[in-house]
Structure 1
Amino acid sequence: MTKPTFESASAASPVLELRDVHFRRGGRAILRDITFRVQAGERWALLGPNGAGKSTILGFCGALTHPSEGTVDVLGSRIGRVDLQALRRRIGHVNPRHPLDSPLSATEVVLTGITGTVETPMRWVPQGDEVERAQAMLDVVGLGARREANWFTMSQGERGRVLIARALVIRPDLLLLDEPTTGLDVAAREQFLETVDGLVRHDPEMTSILVTHHLEELPETTTHALVISDGAVVAAGAVDQVLTTDTITRAFRHPIDVAKHRGRWSARARRG
């Protein structure tokens, strides 16, 4: 197992740090000895097979879950010693399973990122500068011309980009993307990944964690990776050192050849 290498105590405070984290549910061990650190400006991928514990780790990153053992520090605050609601307001979360039931416009959906709700709160009226910021974020994700589009008439790819704008409108210190290309066809997936890569050009200091099962869904701007299997770390660190044929084969328990071409990753079952 490749363990992450920690920097000296004089290094800048990490955006996120898990140390010796264990998590149990109903007496069953879900995670064991999870340790890794995310510094400002790093863009991590979190990979592993179904049931490996990726969603649980993302719950720690989003200040949604407490560990059974170990420590979790998010944006300089330790889980268990801080107001979690206040901490969550500094974290942008992109979930393609966004449970919206109302026919809000793209702008209105983005504005719910400010209120931290799914629907527009009753009697809440956004300020002019908030509307301008929401529309500016739609421009950033390439949807400036779709500001008034109805959520239910948008394509899945457009919805995904609107949700990125929604996460960014609060100017988050940490951006989480939870399997953001779920349900997208190949064209929409590529457009979405281009949007994510474009965010780095817009904000080079952006710190993010993207969860996926598939190496093909990693943006070119990914800098680090954490690979887990059966609730434990298989490897963590710089992406080119972690995403290897050996690591992915061990994590998924199947012979898989990993390759990288023009900044994008691929994985294929080994033949023969």
Structure 2
Amino acid sequence: MDENTGCGHGRVVAALDGVRMSRHTTGQVILDGIDWTVRAGEHWALLGPNGAGKTSMLRIVGATTFPTTGTVDVLGHRLGRVDVRELRARIGHVSTSQRVPAELTGHTTVLTGHSGTVQPLWKAYDAEVRERAHALLAELQIKELADRPYGVCSGGQRARVLIARALMADPGLLLLDEPFNALDLPSREDLIDTMRHLADSRPELATVTVTHHLEELSPAITHALLLREGRVLARGAVQDVLTQERMTACFGRPIEVTRHAGRWLARSGGFA
């Protein structure tokens, strides 16, 4: 296992120590012996085969579930000793499975990030909050979606609206659960550009992105963690983790990894 976690100078945003998670009903172990630290300004990719435990890791870091054993600290608070509702309000979460009413406009959808609700709470949005929502839409280069119903937005547009929504709370940690799911190539590239912009414009923001494809990783990604069967196979600086040997071990078949201009490519086949 790679113990390198980069420079190590940033403020700790999330720390998992000896985390184990098992199903209450069957006792099946989902995560086992997880040690992981995320610091401010770090951008992590979380990769592994289906069933490796990636979503469970994200839920624990997002304070939406608790480990069976071990400790979890997020944004300076330990799970089990903090009101998780207040903690969740400081964590941005983006998932293509999020339920957003189709009739809400892009601006209204972003506004709901301020109140942390699915439906808008109009009394909670003063002029400053409304302007902040407009500013985020402009920052992510989707201000034309302000009056467009969410239901008719493309997949890429929805993803960027959801990121703007997550940023309304000015989170210290942004979690993205397969944000590139079902996007076409132009939409994927737009979203990658968005992630690179966030890394540049918010130097203290830490992000964790769950993905299946190296091609979806932004050049801003600094770190990677490989999960296999609920255990950490490797973690650390992205260039040390995303190697042919480690990717092959993680996914159980020969995988060739290349990098060009900060972008990654993985392919499987009968190469030498």
Question: In the alignment, what sits opposite 1:106?
Answer: 106
- What is the deviation of 1:2? 2.3
Q: How many residues align?
A: 269
Letter paired with 1:217: E
Cα 1:82–1:264 shift into 2, 3 Å? same
Separation of aligned partners in 1, 2:14 and 2:226: 17
Aligned to 1:86: 86
Change (3 A) 1:194 1:7: closer
Q: Does 1:244 align with 2:243?
A: yes
Q: Which residue of 2 aligns with 1:48?
A: 48
**Aligned-residue CA RMSD in angstroms?**
1.6
51-60 or 96-105, larger mean C-alpha shift: 96-105
TM-score by length of structure 2 reads 0.95
CA distance in 2, matches of 1:200, 1:258: 24
C-alpha distance in structure 2 between counterparts of 1:13 and 1:200, whole Å? 16
1:219-239: CA deviations, max 9, x gaps? 110000111010000000000
Match of 2:12 among 14, 33, 38: 14
Q: Distance in 1 between matches of 2:176 and 2:5?
A: 24
Give the SS at the match of 1:55: helix
Quote the Cα distance in structure 2 between the aligned partners of 1:38 and 1:246. 24
Give the 3-state SS of the residue equivalent to 1:257 in structure 2. strand
Distance in 1 of aligned mates of 2:190 and 2:11: 34
Q: Secondary structure at the match of 1:15?
A: strand
Residue number in structure 2 paired with 1:65: 65
Moved over 6 A (4+): none
User: 1:26-79, CA deviations, whole angstroms, 9 ceiling, x for partnerless residues?
Assistant: 311000101111111111111111000000000111111111111110001111
- Judging changes above 3 Å, is the alpha-carbon distance between structure 1 residues 269 and 3 closer, same or farther for their aligned structure 2 residues? same
Once the 2 structures are TM-superposed, how far is the Cα of residue 13 of structure 1 from its aligned partner? 4.2
SS in 2 for 1:51: coil
Structure 2 unaligned blocks of 5 or more = none
Q: Which residue of 2 aligns with 1:221?
A: 220
Alpha carbons 2:45, 2:208 under 8 Å: kept: yes
Query: Aligned partners of 1:148, 1:6: CA distance in 2, in Å?
Result: 42
Q: Which residue of 2 aligns with 1:145?
A: 144
Structure 1 residue 195 corresponds to structure 2 residue 194:
yes
* Structure 2 residue 176 is the aligned partner of structure 1 residue 177: yes
- 2:208 — aligned with what? 209
CA apart distance, 1:202: 1.7
Using the aligned pairs only, state the percent identity.
45
Distance 1:154 1:12 in 2: 37
| 1:158 lines up with 2:142 in the alignment | no
Inter-partner Cα distance in structure 1 for 2:68 and 2:151: 40
Give the residue type in structure 1 aligned to 2:72: V
**Conserved 8 A contact 1:4-1:235:** no
For residue 150 of structure 1, what is the amino acid of its counterpart? P
For the 8 Å contact 2:6–2:223, the answer to whether it is kept is no
Q: Read off the aligned partner of 1:128 and give its amino acid letter.
A: A
Deviation at 1:270, TM superposition (A): 3.1
